Amino acid sequence: MYDVVVIGAGVTGCACAMELSFLNTTVLVVEKEADVCCGTSKANSGIVHAGYDARPGSMKAKMNVEGSAEMEALCARLDVPYKANGSLVISNTEEGRAKLLRLLEQGKQNGVKELRIVEKEELRKLEPHLVEEACCGLYAPTAAIVCPFELTIGMAEVATLNGVEFQFETKVEAIKPVEDGYVLTTTSGEVRAKTIINAAGVYADELHNWVSKKKRRITPRKGEYYLLDKEVGNHVACTIFSLPTKAGKGVLVAPTTHGNLLVGPNAEDGTDKSGTNTSRHGLQEVLEKSGRHVANLPMRQVITSFAGLRAHEEEDDFVLGEVEDAPGFFDCLGIESPGLSSAPAIGKYLASLLKNKLGLAKKEHPIRQRKAVTRMKDLDLAQRNAWVEKNPAYGTIVCRCEEISEGEIMEAIHRPLGATTVDGIKRRTRAGMGRCQAGFCLPKTLEILARETGIPMEQLTKNGRTSSYIKGKTK
Amino acid sequence: MKKELVIIGGGPAGLAAAVAAYDAGLRDILILERDERLGGILNQCIHNGFGLHTFREELTGPEYAGRFIKQVEERKISYKLQTMVLELSHDRIITAMNREDGVFQIEAESVVLAMGCRERSRGALNIPGYRPAGIYSAGTAQRLVNMEGLMPGKEVVILGSGDIGLIMARRMTLEGAKVKVVAELMPYSGGLKRNIVQCLQDYDIPLKLSHTVVDIQGKERVEGVTLAKVDEKGKPVPGTEEFYTCDTLLLSVGLLPENELSKKAGIKLNAVTGGPIVDQRLATSMEGVFACGNVLHVHDLVDFVSQEAMLAGKSAAMYVQMQTKDYDQPIALLAGEGVRYTVPAYLVTEEMEEPVTVRFRVTGIKKNCKIVVYQGDVQLLSKKRPVVAPGEMESVLLKKEMLHTKEAIRICVEEG
């Protein structure tokens, strides 16, 4: 019997797992996919929001401001790419100014620092590629960008180092309350837990509804994105937003921590919770809206497009905490934007609730840091040579677009919670994330993965289950 | 380390350039190749049809490469394998890396760019749908099948009728896969006529022109794709959708010269070809740097790559031996009516001792036409062609004695 079973290994589940791993307790994370960071956490804008968007007094506002205040230090500890690039909400008309002022006021109430209105001239200086009509903006210097994959992976690795167990390709099919907690029926057998953290993203409502009479409903709200080549990654410096509407913050244009340019998302409510397919009309919508504030977007430099699903809850706020009629069952439900920004705070908050509930003590010397996979590209000549000398595999480039070496891929496989799939390698090293989209490196990556894990070629997958690449040998 | 000539890339272009530079008198030559062996993409092209122009016989890709590798070996030209060039600086300092040497730098007196090209990916086409396993560029599939002995799938739809796609349609069929259809966005194929006959028609594989993939189904592995007819602007026509079950989608939707190094070095590129802008010596905008093969512009036939690369190698040798001169204003070569681009893009007449082969592609299929070259209002030459197509590279030969002024030269495709 575990003290805590966390359902879902996205950024929220992994933040909870990491914070719990600092306490004396037993934790299991179950995840239906083959790796951490496979749902909403892998397909979002990668933005650390300043915190002016959420309604004052809401959980979203509280968690966002706390989470983003902590993000930089957390990323430093976890060796996760983070950049305080600032954000701008742009208005193309003077009528929009009133809305910006309301956002400014809201931000101040939420405790966001350094927020201010900037005028046309300064806007131009900050962002030379804004459209001519851009007349004023809300500038948030504390807004930042973060690599969502590495943040999630980093937290999961720290949790692992402190003894948290992870079980992948394990789908929870039923939850029953028993005298001393819960019994979870999963595709990998039964699990018993004193308490449960429900961090199941778009599926969190279904789990919640199994144990509670107060029903919740999550709508998967799809957002589609374009990712552009690094060559044009500096088209904007800040994250550029439109004035928000009911459907959210609208289509943004932002650099990523790895130097690409991200354009999206739209917002479209659907019913299929695994419907992460892009659509012609969705991509078209993003294209049309992308140019509202940023001129001459180099859309010919698109290297891929993708879609993510926001877990939109009807009451439009995060639902965090113990479910009233299900003692020991804790929800992290409705975690849509600013979920990534809030993750560090949500993790802490849930861990504090569990600490009180179970009377847990702090661990004496928990591990709080981790080193990411070596990034050869970022090292100087002497440092790189030292790595090649230590292991010649660091001298062989496998992914030429992102300049990722065989050594880095091997590292991604042989580490706590190491990669077992091609996507797992991609998210830990960036191999295959570049402009050729793995056209050149896929065969080599498969070969290394098979060699290092002993998994036969035919059984290697993109991201688990039936997503295999190879359908047999040639004649 | 210092070298008189460094050749970046040991594929067909790099090999031929090395041989020609050696034969023009250079000895201090180094080829840098990122793969485990010389020969480049030819190593995975195990079909025949290579070398008809160069050797007057039909060779497979590895055989064709082997001929040039032999010449390189005979001349004892040095090369480094599994060596990735990371940077080319403005003053021709090359930073590269491999297992044995770590990161190292070479001061090169001259450089030949021969990095080849890469395949356009699904992402660049914005094909909507899921992103499951089972979507491969045709070249990746070719490598898996021909070099690793692995089958990427059993039921295949191919988008794009470029040569690699056509070759793979036949290859997958011979390996027991069912190739259901090849769809082509354009109203004509981008591949060679002989490949359409030998790879599709001979195996009863349907070719659907003016069609594209509008949806990809399958959350884990490809389960099917939807094709639709497109209008003249390439937009899908509603109501024409057809679903094909398949486990694999191969993409043969264009090749892009791989010029990231050149761009970072500040070498000027042609927006149409994606390759460096060169004169008839194949000299780029950066002194001492030459380009050839698919990094310069995408070719249909390796024979022409070899010819072009020999010129680049020879030019690099001459550059090292004679250094630069002050040249007069060059003559611009322009793509006129019906022509997409020309290589070279200009002529340095002082260096025009031999006739210059100007290679170019046309913008569309045209029957019973003529290719006409003008300098100002003067017609330099005209040659009749029964048919021209974008998928087949054209060329004209220009001689110094034809040119009497410094006016720009235009190549056009005209009626009749």
* Six-digit token string for A323: 């479910």
Q: How far is A320 from chain B (nearest CA, A)?
A: 31
On whether the CB atoms of residues B255 and B140 are closer than 8 A, the answer is: no
Task: For chain A, positions 137-176, list CB contacts with chain B under 8 A.
Answer: none
Closest chain B residue by Cα to residue A403: B86
A399 and A252 part of one domain:
no
* Domain assignment present for A280: yes
A343 and A436 part of one domain:
no
A475–B contact, CB cutoff 8 A: yes
Residue type present at position B40: G
Closest chain A residue by Cα to residue B252: A439
A138 and A180 part of one domain:
no
A299 and A228 part of one domain:
yes
- Yes or no, beta carbons of A395 and B101 under 8 Å apart: yes
Helix axes A339-358 and A148-161, enclosed angle (nearest 10): 20
The ranges of chain A with pLDDT < 70 are none
Considering only CA atoms, which of A89, A331, A98, A290 is closest in space to residue A200? A331
Per-residue pLDDT of chain B (416 residues; tens, 9 = 90+): 999 999 999 999 999 999 999 999 999 999 999 999 999 999 999 999 999 999 999 999 999 999 999 999 999 999 999 999 999 999 999 999 999 999 999 999 999 999 999 999 998 888 999 999 999 999 999 999 999 999 999 999 999 999 999 999 999 999 999 999 999 999 999 888 899 999 999 999 999 999 999 999 999 999 999 999 999 999 999 999 999 999 999 999 999 999 999 999 999 999 999 999 999 999 999 999 999 999 999 999 999 999 999 999 999 999 999 866 778 889 999 999 999 999 999 999 888 889 999 999 999 999 999 999 999 999 999 999 999 999 899 999 999 999 989 999 999 999 98
* Domain assignment present for A363: no
- Yes or no, beta carbons of A437 and B123 under 8 Å apart: yes
Q: How far is A310 from chain B (nearest CA, A)?
A: 17
* Domain assignment present for A354: yes
A306 and A387 part of one domain:
no
- Yes or no, beta carbons of A302 and B123 under 8 Å apart: yes
- Yes or no, beta carbons of B140 and A442 under 8 Å apart: yes
Q: How far apart are CA A243 and CA A252, in angstroms?
A: 10
Q: Indicate the residue of B102, B145, B219 with minimum beta-carbon distance to A385.
A: B102
A286 and A195 part of one domain:
no
Which residues make Cβ contacts (< 8 Å) with residue A246, sequence separation at least 6?
none
What total number of domains does chain A contain?
3
Does the ipTM exceed 0.85?
yes
A138 and A227 part of one domain:
yes
- Yes or no, beta carbons of A304 and B145 under 8 Å apart: no
Residues of A in contact with B40 (CB under 8 A): none
Kindly report, residue by residue over B173-225, the tens digit of the pLDDT: 999 999 999 999 999 998 888 999 999 999 999 999 999 999 999 999 999 99
Q: What is the pLDDT of residue A48?
A: 98
Q: How far apart are CA B145 and CA B168, in angstroms?
A: 9
* Domain assignment present for A53: no
Q: What is the pLDDT of residue A244?
A: 87
A343 and A199 part of one domain:
yes
A352 and A390 part of one domain:
no
Residue percentage of chain A with pLDDT more than 90: 98
Q: How far apart are CA A326 and CA A344, in angstroms?
A: 25
Q: Taking the CA of residue A363 as centre, how many other CA atoms within 13 Å lie in the half-sphere pointing to its CB?
A: 19
A460–B contact, CB cutoff 8 A: no
Residues of A in contact with B234 (CB under 8 A): none
A280 and A426 part of one domain:
no
The pTM of this model reads 0.96
Q: Strand B248-251 vs strand B155-159: parallel, antiparallel, or unpaired?
A: parallel
Which residues make Cβ contacts (< 8 Å) with residue A109, sequence separation at least 6?
A56
Considering only CA atoms, which of A110, A102, A23 is closest in space to residue A63? A110
A289 and A387 part of one domain:
no
Can you give the residue range of the structural domain that contains A20? 2-41+149-217+316-358
Residues of A in contact with B152 (CB under 8 A): 469-471
Radius of gyration of chain B (CA): 22
- Yes or no, beta carbons of B128 and A462 under 8 Å apart: no
* Six-digit token string for A136: 């004023």
Q: Cis (ω within 30 of 0) for the bond into A338?
A: yes
Q: Which domains does chain B have, with CATH numbers?
A: 1-118+254-324 (3.50.50.60), 121-253 (3.50.50.60), 327-416 (2.60.40)
The CATH number of the domain where A244 resides is what? Answer: 3.30.9.10
Give the DSSP H or E segment for B371: strand B366-375
* Domain assignment present for A364: no
Q: What is the pLDDT of residue A71?
A: 98
Q: What is the pLDDT of residue A329?
A: 98
Residues of A in contact with B150 (CB under 8 A): 457, 470, 472-474
* Domain assignment present for A153: yes
* Domain assignment present for A30: yes
Q: What is the pLDDT of residue B323?
A: 64
Kindly report, residue by residue over A57-83, the tens digit of the pLDDT: 999 999 999 999 999 999 999 999 999
On whether the CB atoms of residues B89 and B42 are closer than 8 A, the answer is: no
- Yes or no, beta carbons of B130 and A283 under 8 Å apart: no
* Domain assignment present for A465: no
A439–B contact, CB cutoff 8 A: yes
Q: How far apart are CA A219 and CA B19, in angstroms?
A: 65
* Burial bucket for residue A249 (CB in 10 Å: 0-12, 13-18, 19+): buried
Closest chain A residue by Cα to residue B139: A439
Closest chain B residue by Cα to residue A442: B140
Could you give the residue numbers annotated as active site of A?
Answer: 49
Q: How far apart are CA A353 and CA B387, in angstroms?
A: 77
A211 and A333 part of one domain:
yes
Closest chain A residue by Cα to residue B132: A467
A391–B contact, CB cutoff 8 A: no
The CATH number of the domain where A447 resides is what? Answer: 1.10.10.1100
The CATH number of the domain where A332 resides is what? Answer: 3.50.50.60
